[in-house]
Amino acid sequence: MDMQPTALGYLAAGIGAALTVIGAGLGIGKLAAAAMEASGRQPEVAGQVRTSMLIAAALIEGATFFALAICIILATK
């Protein structure tokens, strides 16, 4: 490819951000599905399930934001 390095950088940032969001969406979607099912089976523990779901979602998003930070660095340098 004969693109300039900055153009490749922007392209990489865009593709990276898209893949990151796909990974995060799939992961947190599965997590939310399990949480919904657990709450439906046993409504009295719904509060604890919600707390654990939030913690797990935050941890997954933490990894997502690693990748997002790298994409932002790629896009702005």
Partner 1 sequence: MQEHTQTLQAASDTAHAAAAGHAAEGGNLFGELLHHVYDAHEIDLPFIGVVELPHFAPVHIGGLTIDFSLTKHVIFLWFAALFLIVFAVSAARSLAARPVPRGIGNFAEAFVIYVRDEICLPNMGPAGMRYMPYLLTTFFFILIMNLCGLVPYGATATGNISVTAGLALIAFVMIQLSAIRAQGIGAYLKHLTGGVHWALWPIMVPIEILGLFTKPFALMIRLFANMIGGHIVIVSLLGMIFIFRNYLVAVGPVFFVLGISMLELFVAFLQAYIFTMLTSLFMGLGMVHAHEEGGQGHEHEH
State yes or no: residue 72 binds partner 1 (CB under 8 A).
yes
For partner 1, the closer of residues 3 and 54 by Cβ is 54
6 binds partner 1 (CB under 8 A): no
CA dihedral of 60, 30, 24, 3, whole degrees rounded to 10:
150
Should residue 73 be labelled a site residue for partner 1 when binding is judged by CB under 8 A? Answer: no
**Binding to partner 1 in span 34-63, by CB under 8 A:** 51, 54-55, 58-59, 61-63
Nearest to 45 by CA among 35, 33, 58, 31: 35
| Using rule CB under 8 A, residue 69 touches partner 1 | yes
Q: 3-state secondary structure string, 34-75?
A: HHHHHHHHCHHHHHHHHHHHHHHHHHHHHHHHHHHHHHHHHH
Task: Give the footprint of partner 1 on this chain (CB under 8 A).
Answer: 51, 54-55, 58-59, 61-63, 65-66, 68-69, 72, 75-76
